[in-house]
């Protein structure tokens, strides 16, 4: 009788409100979530595992947009490439969560399970246990960097008239729109070639 009537819905509303605050202000706090929901701060704490618990709910929400079935594709490099593209799209939809999510330890079970599958993919492909995390993080870094880049205005520099940067202006004009996508392709190709070379060197 004393239990909240809609606990699952409440955790979803807490997560959604935290996302709104992050989009607007770059961060959230439990008191600000409570104020926006017209609730007591203690009631919010009652439903989640503290601030860290809300970060994990955010992580699960953002990661839920990643197509995990990409990790079932074969060969391994096709899977890794498709997973990277899906991760980039998921994070690009929520760029301001990236620093929060990257700077706290992963505890969300569904996200840990996704890493487990990615590790299994690379171990099955023949990579050593010590090579797997450097590879996954080396893929994650440009994925997240590019997700932030996608949120940037297309024209990087406004090139103030009093700044003599003719080569930069030429380079920006030459690439035109889609700079973020082309840069991501360059980075992804470099990563995948290097991973294939590492695997070949082992074999």
Q: Select 64 or 155, whichever has its Cβ closest to a copy of itself.
A: 155
d(CA 17, CA 69): 29
Q: Which stretch binds a copy of itself (CB under 8 A): 4-12, 33-41, 58-66, 134-142?
A: 134-142
Please report, as residue ranges, which positions from 29 to 88 form the binding site for a copy of itself (by CB under 8 A): none
Q: What is the closest distance, in whole angstroms, from the C-beta atom of residue 5 to a copy of itself in the complex?
A: 27
Residue count of the chain:
203
The tokens describing 62, both together, are 């953002």
# residues contacting a copy of itself (CB under 8 A):
81
- DSSP annotation of 158 reads -
Please report, as residue ranges, which positions from 8 to 27 form the binding site for a copy of itself (by CB under 8 A): 22, 25-27
The tokens describing 88, both together, are 């980039």
The residue from 44, 54, 84, 135 that contacts a copy of itself (CB under 8 A) is 135
Measure Cα distances from 104 to 55, 86, 91, 124 in Å. 8, 22, 16, 29
Q: Which stretch binds a copy of itself (CB under 8 A): 40-48, 62-70, 78-86, 115-123?
A: 115-123
Q: What is the closest distance, in whole angstroms, from the C-beta atom of residue 50 to a copy of itself in the complex?
A: 14
Contacts with a copy of itself, 144-173, as mask; x by CB under 8 A: xxx-xx-xxx-xxxxxx-xxxxxxx-xxxx
Pick left, alpha or beta for residue 126 (phi over 0 → left; psi -120 to 50 → alpha; otherwise beta). left
**Cis peptide leading into 75, omega within 30 of 0?**
yes
């Amino acid at each position: 009788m004393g239990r909240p009537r809609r606990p699952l819905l409440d955790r979803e509303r807490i997560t959604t409100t935290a996302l709104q605050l992050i989009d607007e202000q770059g961060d959230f706090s439990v008191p600000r979530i409570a104020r926006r929901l017209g609730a007591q701060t203690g009631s919010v704490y009652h439903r989640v595992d503290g601030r860290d618990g809300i970060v994990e709910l955010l992580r699960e929400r953002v990661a839920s947009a990643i197509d995990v079935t990409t990790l079932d594709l074969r060969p391994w490099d096709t899977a890794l490439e498709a997973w990277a593209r899906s991760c980039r799209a998921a994070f690009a939809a929520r760029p301001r969560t990236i620093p929060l999510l990257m700077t706290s330890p992963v505890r969300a079970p569904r996200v840990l399970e996704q890493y487990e599958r990615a590790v299994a993919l690379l171990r099955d492909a023949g990579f050593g246990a010590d090579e797997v995390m450097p590879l996954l993080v080396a893929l994650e870094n440009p994925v997240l960097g590019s997700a932030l880049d996608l949120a940037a205005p297309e024209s990087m520099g406004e090139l103030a008239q009093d700044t003599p940067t003719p080569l930069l202006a030429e380079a920006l004009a030459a690439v035109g729109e889609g700079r973020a996508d082309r840069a991501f392709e360059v980075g992804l190709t470099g990563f995948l070639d290097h991973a294939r070379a590492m695997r070949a060197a082992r074999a």
